[in-house]
Amino acid sequence: MNVSRFLKNVILAELFVPVLLLTIGIYHGLMQVIYRAGVIHQASVAKLDYYQGLTLHGVINAVVLTTFFAVAFGHATIAFYLKKEPNPRATTLSLILMVVGTLLAAAAMLSGKASVLYTFYPPLKAHPAFYIGTAMLIIGSWVAYWDWAVIYVRWKRENRDINTPLAVIGTLVNFTIWFVCTLAVAYEVLVLLVPWSLGWTAGVNVVLARTLFWFFGHALVYFWLLPSYIMFYTMLPKLAGGKLYSGMAGRIAFFMFLILSIPIGVHHQFGDPSIGRGIKLTQSILTFGVAIPSFITAFTIAASLEYAARLRGGKGLYRWIWKLPFFRKDVFLFGYLINGLILFIFGGLTGLVNASYSLNNVVHNTSFIPGHFHLTVAGPVFLAILGMSIFLVSQLTGKKIFLPTINTIIPYLWTVGVLIFSTGLMWGGLMGEPRRTNMGLTYLNPASEQYHSYWVISSMLGLAGGGIMFIAGFLYFIVFFGTFFRKQTAPSTIDFPVSESLHEEKRIPLFDTFRPWLLLMGIIILMAYLPAISDALNNTGRKAPPYQPSDPTPILPKNER
């Protein structure tokens, strides 16, 4: 479909801004593994502190990039499938809030006043600009979501007996999860953290703040993932040359994510003594439940890919796999998505370890945790963002892909890097290697009394994998910006590869409406979180003063020093 100049410029801006910042995020990702491998035995390089770099890496990669991309992809999806472009005023307001908020937060981080490990996680305290900026980024994404909801309602009134396109269901489910979960973190930021950061309150209820953060924090993972799932269901079978095995399976999976993505955040607080054991066990069970839609997706997409490969002449129990278009430049997006799926297999399996009420104690706060979540965030999430950003830039600008052969190699190179990197971190984590720690100062510094030689090999694996990921990221920037600045050769369009369904499936109203699922979502959230928040309010000591990440002593007011 042809797009207006306004929508084209908005989507391009929402891609260009975070990708430009991503250059900083990926640089600091490389610096993290260099510090942790003990190559550098100091606290900072080029006047950028280790924890400052860790915050920049986390916020840019996991919050700024993912939010901007989700909004840009949402604009494209709604416009393409519903044939209605978003409201210009709402879209402009959304973009302004997101950009200004990002700049505020970036200023706080770059000035060294917001080294808080990418989370809103007291007692680490950031400059108010960091909290206000991230809140503006979130609110800007809300504006886009509300506009899409209006478009959807109007479209549904005109098409009552027609199934809502699966991609639209996925987009609205994703942003409904995002809107609900960010309400908690908005309260944490605006009511608890901003007054504390401004000095209006002396301390903060750490348990309550962390409980509100994880109400948001784990649902955030599914906000990252669902754009990938939309591509898996609606594009990947078409790219493979086949059809989607079951569109109904996709609807079931998306609505299961809607009801189960949020009420599981307490499994990140298994080590928190203020939350009761019964609540932790309940949320652990719910966490295992959220794996079900992923299993549904794995079966459905595998069946779809096998069908496509056998159409191409694939034979045997497994040999059909080699008939898939892994390195075809005309369907390069297939390579990005299939590699994301491969990484997600390992990410999902290691995630079950974290979800276990007992096994979590073994890996809690070790490098196993970032090893796991890089298999998900740096796997299907990041690869889908990289591939789709190049796809959209090419289509919206009417320009051919720059260095198409390199473009097909990037996802495979990235996947090799992630597998090596995550193996090193998880191996080290099983041996007790800590996360978030500048080990070059202590544990991997031969001059330190805390030196541990048995973490050398695992951290070097992390360094090797991180180096490969950096090279893949560098090649991506060359392709992305090279495509962006090429000469236009075609009109601006959005033309997604749309997968047809293999089977004709009867429309079931339950899986084409949001009301019953929203009601069930609310009930489960209340059942899961009212007891947790009650514990956070009642089972806590005095409010905590602020801390710096590099110093174990609190920051006390001048009159108490």
What number of other Cβ atoms are within 10 A of residue 28's Cβ? 21
Cα 188 to Cα 105, 165, 467, 521: the distances in Å are 17, 35, 36, 21
- For the cut 60, the answer to whether the pLDDT of residue 285 exceeds it is yes
- The confidence score (pLDDT) of residue 47 equals 83
- The confidence score (pLDDT) of residue 552 equals 66
User: Average pLDDT, stretch 63-73?
Assistant: 96
- For the cut 70, the answer to whether the pLDDT of residue 439 exceeds it is yes
- For the cut 70, the answer to whether the pLDDT of residue 560 exceeds it is no
- For the cut 80, the answer to whether the pLDDT of residue 425 exceeds it is yes
User: Average pLDDT, stretch 255-277?
Assistant: 90
Which residues are CB-neighbours of 253 under 8 A, at least 6 positions away? 229, 293, 294, 296, 297, 300
How does 123-139 read in b/e, with b if 16+ C-beta sit within 10 Å?
A: bbbbbbbbbbbbbbbbb
Rounded to 5, what percent of the chain is helix, strand, coil?
A: 70, 5, 25
Helix axes 332-355, 368-376, angle to 10 degrees: 140
> Considering the chain, what is the average pLDDT of its residues?
92
- The confidence score (pLDDT) of residue 555 equals 72
Active site residues: 218, 222, 372-374, 435-436
pLDDT in tens, 524-543: 999 999 999 998 888 776 67
Which residues are CB-neighbours of 234 under 8 A, at least 6 positions away? 165, 166, 167, 170, 244, 250, 496, 498, 499
pLDDT band, very low/low/confident/very high, at 372 (cuts 50, 70, 90)? very high
Cα 299 to Cα 2, 134, 240, 249, 313: the distances in Å are 35, 37, 16, 9, 21
Range 5-560: architecture per CATH:
Up-down Bundle (1.20)
User: Average pLDDT, stretch 195-210?
Assistant: 88
122's tokens: 């007291």
pLDDT band, very low/low/confident/very high, at 558 (cuts 50, 70, 90)? low
Q: Looking at this protein, which amino acid is placed at residue 270?
A: F
pLDDT in tens, 168-188: 999 999 999 999 999 998 999
Percent of the chain exceeding pLDDT 70 equals: 97
pLDDT band, very low/low/confident/very high, at 561 (cuts 50, 70, 90)? low
- The confidence score (pLDDT) of residue 328 equals 94
- The confidence score (pLDDT) of residue 119 equals 72
Break the chain into its structural domains and give their ranges.
Answer: 5-560
**CA gap 263, 290 in Å, rounded:** 10
pLDDT band, very low/low/confident/very high, at 335 (cuts 50, 70, 90)? very high
Residue 436 zone, left/alpha/beta (φ > 0; ψ -120 to 50; rest): left
Is the bond preceding residue 545 a cis peptide, omega within 30 degrees?
A: no
User: Average pLDDT, stretch 38-52?
Assistant: 90
Q: What φ, ψ does residue 434 adopt, rounded to 5°?
A: -75, 155
The conformation of residue 509, written as its DSSP 8-state character, comes to: G
Least confident of 202-206, 230-234, 257-261, 324-328: 202-206
pTM greater than 0.85 (yes/no): yes
Cα 86 to Cα 16, 97, 151, 159: the distances in Å are 20, 16, 7, 18
pLDDT in tens, 137-147: 999 999 999 99
